[in-house]
Amino acid sequence: MKSALRKHIALLTALLIFASIVLSGCAGKNGPDVPADTDLPAVPTDVPATGIPATEVPATDVPDEFYETREYSFIDNKDRFKIMGRSADMSKGVTCDWSAAGFAINAYCRGDVKLKLTVSGSCYFSVFVDGVKQEGDVLAKATTVLAKGLEAGEHLIEVFRQTEVRQGLVVLKSLSVEGELLEAPKDKPLRLVFIGDSISSGFGTNPKTQTGAEDHVDATLAYPFLVSRALDADFEIDAVIGIGLVKGYVTETMGEIFKYTDYYRSKKTEYTCDKRTDAVIINLGTNDATMSSDPGLFKEAVKALVHDVQAMYGNNVPIIWIYNSMRADHSKYTLEAIEDLKVEGINIEAEKFKADASAYGHPGVKAHQKDADQLIELLKSRYGIGEIVEPAGGDN
């Protein structure tokens, strides 16, 4: 596969060879003769399909004209983007609506990285460059600057939604870089799915959160994201603030929205997952308890959701149901339903978190980190899933 960088490297190599021939012909007049047996460094010729030479090329050796601004459509360049979370193709882009959904790219570039999108409502992003979370919340706009003044070289850039689905729908249209997008990052060996409400969405984690200012929910500070990053796992977070299984603060229920790619866009497109999933973690019941859902109906809804999870991700996928994250959460009825499911032979376990309500009635940042540590240990010890991975370049 040809790329602009490969052409420039080839041109530079040809010029260097030509120059060496000219200089060697003039050595007797203008410089010292080079002995015939002198070992000269070989010119690397192996250039992989990505366009980056197999041997490391210093950024200073790449011609300035390579760093022209190039714009890549999400629809027309699917091999350059790794899309994360439930997503659907639209006429002008791909959707990015769920908590911590987003995309990742590999790029050989410098300077600024800009994203073109459409957004209804409000949405913020967290941006990671080479594994390091950048400071500040990035507000989604028609043209959104994701990174500024990058040093020339190869970079991994990851972009994740902070905001949950009902607060703003986003379509990713195109990305521009001063350089070139390379082949998209590969899928990781481990994949986790999280299903939940405002706890899994990260309500209260962002220090800017004010009572009622839900646009500053930050899913990248919540335990599902923390677990996934620590284990270097791909993930999917299907979470809605206020949702219940029978009754919550929103009229829809998790059982209703779960089967659709994006219930808030279309009730016609059912979701299918063609990727192997290693575990599904569910955290629901708080809103049902607050709204006094009927216990019998709640237990049946727990069982129905678990059956839907099996149908979606596989009959053998381990399911972990988290309870007691904050206030009363119908845990008595949850545990009764789980025991019934075990009798059916379903691979499901309940895990009790330490209740915390330090952030506007929700678990705070410290509680989410403790919950993440607890879940990581459970995944490793009980299911043999994952090894903790130190983030590249610093903490995230």
Three-class secondary structure assignment of 120-154: EECCEEEEEECCEECCCCEECCCEEEEEEEEEEEE
Give CA–CA dist 177/112, Å, rounded: 6
Give the count of alpha carbons within 13 A of 376, CB side only.
Answer: 21
For position 375, what pLDDT does the model report? 98
For position 244, what pLDDT does the model report? 98
> For the chain, what is the radius of gyration of the CA atoms?
26
Main-chain dihedrals φ then ψ at residue 72, nearest 5 degrees: -120, 125
> Is 60 exceeded by the pLDDT of residue 393?
no
Q: Which of 205, 236, 239, 233 is nearest to 370 (CA)?
A: 205
Give CA–CA dist 135/301, Å, rounded: 41
Domain ranges of the chain: 4-65, 68-181, 191-383
Residue type, 103: F
| Token code pair at residue 121 | 């409502």
Question: In Å, how far from its chain's centre is CA 278?
Answer: 17
Q: Which of 356, 353, 273 is nearest to 320 (CA)?
A: 353
Are 99 and 237 within 8 A, CB to CB? yes
Q: Does domain 191-383 have CATH number 3.40.50.1110?
A: yes
- 9 burial (CB, 10 Å; 0-12 / 13-18 / 19+) is buried
pLDDT tens sequence across 307-338: 999 999 999 999 999 999 997 789 999 999 99
Q: Find residue 121's DSSP bridge partners.
A: 168
191-383 has the same fold as 68-181: no
- The domain 68-181: what is its CATH number? 2.60.120.260
Q: Which helix (H) or strand (E) holds 104?
A: strand 102-121
How large a percentage of the chain has pLDDT more than 70?
80
In this prediction, residue 102 has a pLDDT band, given cuts at 50, 70 and 90, of very high
> Is 70 exceeded by the pLDDT of residue 394?
no
What SS3 class is residue 336? Answer: helix
Can you say whether residue 102 is alpha, beta or left, with left for phi > 0 and alpha for psi between -120 and 50 degrees? Answer: left
For position 207, what pLDDT does the model report? 73
Mean pLDDT of the region 155-175: 96
pLDDT tens sequence across 177-213: 999 999 999 999 999 999 999 999 999 888 765 544 5
Residue 69: how many other CB atoms lie within 10 Å: 12
The mean predicted confidence, pLDDT, of the chain is 85
279-283 and 234-239 beta bridge pairing: unpaired
For position 257, what pLDDT does the model report? 97
Q: Which of 56, 7, 359, 26 is nearest to 209 (CA)?
A: 359
Give CA–CA dist 131/4, Å, rounded: 26
